[in-house]
A and B are shown apart, each in its own frame.
Chain A
C-alpha cells in the first residue's frame, strides 16, 4: 500500500478494489456488540483539523478506535495559526517529535497535506484540503455504490452543484471515471471549472436533461455565501434550477440512487423530503465511511503495510 494518501490519483484500480474488499470485512465489525479489533494496538493516529469538521473527524476517530489505535485530536484554525503563534510547519514538526504513526489532516488550504508529507515521517492521510481533494470520501462513495450496483463499468453518474469549490467533486470524478463509470458534471456555468471536460467528464448546464439517463445523482453542498460572490443570483433560484426535488426525483430510473457527501442543505440542493427516500443512501455513506477508513488505516499502518511489517 501507499505511504501517504494525498490524492485519489495515487491509487490504482487494483488498490482501490483492495480497500473496498477489506472494508467489507470491517463493515461487519461495526455491527458487533463489541465493536473493536486489536489490529492497530500501540499505533498513534492524530486527527489534525485546521478547519471545522464534525462528521469526517468523528468518522476517522471511530475508525481508528475500532482498530484499537490511540487517537489524538488536534483542532486549530488555519486562519489564525500564523498570526497566533505556531506555524503550520512547526505544528507538523511538533507532532512528528511526538511519534505519530499517521496524521489525518483537514485544511482549508489546497495542498496542505502534500506539504505536510514532506516534513513528517508519519503517514499522511488527506481528509479534505481546500477545493483540491477528499480521497477517503471518494472511496466510501465507491463502496456505497458497489453495495447497490455490482459493477462500475458504464454506470452513469451526475455530480451536481458547486464543482468549482468542491474537493469531493475533484476526487470523485477521478475515482468514478477510473473505475469505469461515465461522469457528467451539472450546474450553472459559474460553478463548473472551464477545464472540467479535460478530466474525462461530460459537462451539462441542465439537470433536467440528464436526469432520466442516470444511475446515480450525486449532489454537492451549495454554500449560501456563494450568492455574495455573484456566482448565482439567489439560493432560491439555484434550488429551482439545479436542486433535486420530488418532481425531478420522479424523472429518475427506478433503481437510481441519490447521494450527498453531507452535511445536506435541505431545501437547497435536496428537497426536504427526498433525503429520507429509500433511493437516497446518504446515511449508508456515513456508515460505510467508518469501514472504508478502517480499511485504509489497516492497509497503510497495519500488518499488510511496509510500516507494520
Chain B
C-alpha cells in the first residue's frame, strides 16, 4: 500500500525541518520525503495549506477497559485517539481489575494491537490495587510483552513516603518512569473544585493549590534522592510550575505534563454548577492558567497530555458532590492547544509538535513515535489545518462518552488525517473501519 501526503508544511523538530514537502509512505514506513514526488499507484492525501507532523503521543488516557466498558473501550478510545491525531496513547492503570500485573497489562496491549488504530501502551500501577500499601510486581510488567515503561497510581498520590521512595529506587533499576498524581489527600479531602474566590462564593468545598504543591515538593525531593526518572502528571498550579522549574535547574530528572483543560478553562466555569467541569486536579484560577502556559512555553512543562476521562451521562448528571471527576480530551486536544497557545502567539507551531509528539514519545521511550519524518522512519503522522474553526458537538465524538467541557465552543485547528504505521486511521471526519496491517 502506497500513500502520498502531498504539499503540506512538514513540521518535524526531530530533523529540524519546517518546510513544504511531499511524503511518500510505503509498507508502513516513510519511503521518501521531497518535492513533487510521483503519486503513481498511491492514495493521495492533499495537505496543501495544512501542517504535517509526527503523530501525537498522549501520556495520559483513561480507556476504562477492563471494567467500565459502558463508558469507553480500548476500541472506542482508539477511535477517539485517531480522530484527535494521536498515534500513541498511554492507558492509565486505574481499571477494574487494576493494571498491577503482567496479565492485565498484556491484555490491554494486545487489545490495542488488535484494534490497530494507535499504539496503546499500558501504564502499570505503583502499588497493588492502587491501595498504596504494597509495591506492584514492576519487573514482571516491564518484562512482559506489554513492555510497561510508566508506573503510577494515577487518580491518587502515594501517601506513604517510604513506599514511594522504595518504588522509585526499584523502578530506576529498569530505567522506567515513576509518574505521580500529586495530591495530598488530607488537604484535598471532600474537595469539589479549586479553593478560591469561586469555591467561597458557591459553597463548594475547595481543593487548595497547596494540596498539589505539598505532594509535588515531597516527590521532587524523593526523585532527587533516588535518581529515578520522575514525571509529574497534570500539573495545574503556578506553584507547581515554579517547583518543577527549580528542580530542573537543580538537575533532578523530572518531566511534566499539562492538560488542555488546565490551559483553556478556569474555575469560573463552575458558576454553572455543571459537573462536566468537575475534574481532578480541578480547574484553577486565571493566574494558574497563565503560569502553566508560560511553563509550556519555556520548557518547564514538557508535554501536553489530555487526562481523557470518559464518564457516563447518568454519573455526570448527578448532584455536583456525587458526580465523578474527569472530562474527555482526545478529540479536542490539538484544537485547544492551537486556540490557547499557538493562535495567541504563546508558542510557535514547532513547539506545539514538541509538546504533543516529540517530548512525550521520548518520555515513554517509544522510538517509533515523535519523528523524525525521514526515509526509513515508521509512518506515524498527523495532518492538520491550524486555521480551520469548528464547533465542538458532543454527539459527534468518537468516544463512547459525552462529557466534553468544550461542548458548543468554537475552537481553531482541525485534524485532516491521521496515519498510523502507514495506514490512514482517520480522514476528513471518519475513522477507517479496516486498517491494512
* A complexed with B: yes
- Report B202-239 CB contacts with A as 1/0, cut-off 8 Å: 11110000000000000000000000000000000000
Contact of B200 among A107, A109, A194 (CB under 8 A): A194
Q: Is the CB of A111 within 8 A of B317?
A: no
- Asked if A228 is at the interface of the complex by the 8 Å CB criterion, the answer is no
Residues of chain B with a CB closer than 8 A to A109's CB: 319-322
Q: Is the CB of A131 within 8 A of B203?
A: yes
- Asked if B96 is at the interface of the complex by the 8 Å CB criterion, the answer is no
The residue of chain B having its C-beta at the shortest distance from the C-beta of A198 within the complex is B197
- Report A185-218 CB contacts with B as 1/0, cut-off 8 Å: 0000000011110110000000000000000000
Distance in angstroms from A168 CB to nearest chain B CB is: 11
Distance in angstroms from B317 CB to nearest chain A CB is: 5
Contact of A195 among B197, B204, B272 (CB under 8 A): B197
Given contacts A87-B314, A89-B317, contact A110 B273 (CB under 8 A): yes
- Report A19-58 CB contacts with B as 1/0, cut-off 8 Å: 0000000000000000000000000000000000000000
- Asked if A106 is at the interface of the complex by the 8 Å CB criterion, the answer is no
Chain B residues with a Cβ closer than 8 Å to the other chain, count: 20
Q: Is the CB of B200 within 8 A of A130?
A: no
Residues of chain A with a CB closer than 8 A to B320's CB: 109-112, 115
Contact of A132 among B197, B203, B272 (CB under 8 A): B203
Given contacts A82-B322, A109-B322, A114-B273, contact A87 B317 (CB under 8 A): yes
- Report B303-324 CB contacts with A as 1/0, cut-off 8 Å: 0000000000010011111100
Chain A residues with a Cβ closer than 8 Å to the other chain, count: 27
Contact of B204 among A110, A194, A198, A199 (CB under 8 A): A110
- Asked if B201 is at the interface of the complex by the 8 Å CB criterion, the answer is yes
Residues of chain A with a CB closer than 8 A to B321's CB: 108-110, 130
Interface centre among B192, B195, B274, B317 (most CB of A within 10 A): B317
Residues of chain B with a CB closer than 8 A to A111's CB: 202, 204, 273, 319-320
Distance in angstroms from B269 CB to nearest chain A CB is: 12
- Asked if B394 is at the interface of the complex by the 8 Å CB criterion, the answer is no
Residues of B within 8 A of A (CB): 192, 195-197, 200-205, 272-274, 314, 317-322
A88-B318, A110-B204, A132-B204 are known contacts; what are 17 more A-B pairs with Cβ within 8 Å? A107-B319, A109-B320, A110-B192, A110-B203, A110-B320, A111-B204, A111-B319, A112-B273, A114-B273, A115-B320, A130-B203, A130-B321, A131-B204, A131-B205, A132-B202, A132-B203, A170-B203
A selection of 15 A-B contacts at a CB cut-off of 8 Å is: A78-B319, A78-B322, A87-B317, A88-B319, A107-B319, A110-B203, A111-B204, A111-B319, A115-B273, A115-B320, A131-B203, A170-B203, A194-B195, A194-B200, A195-B197
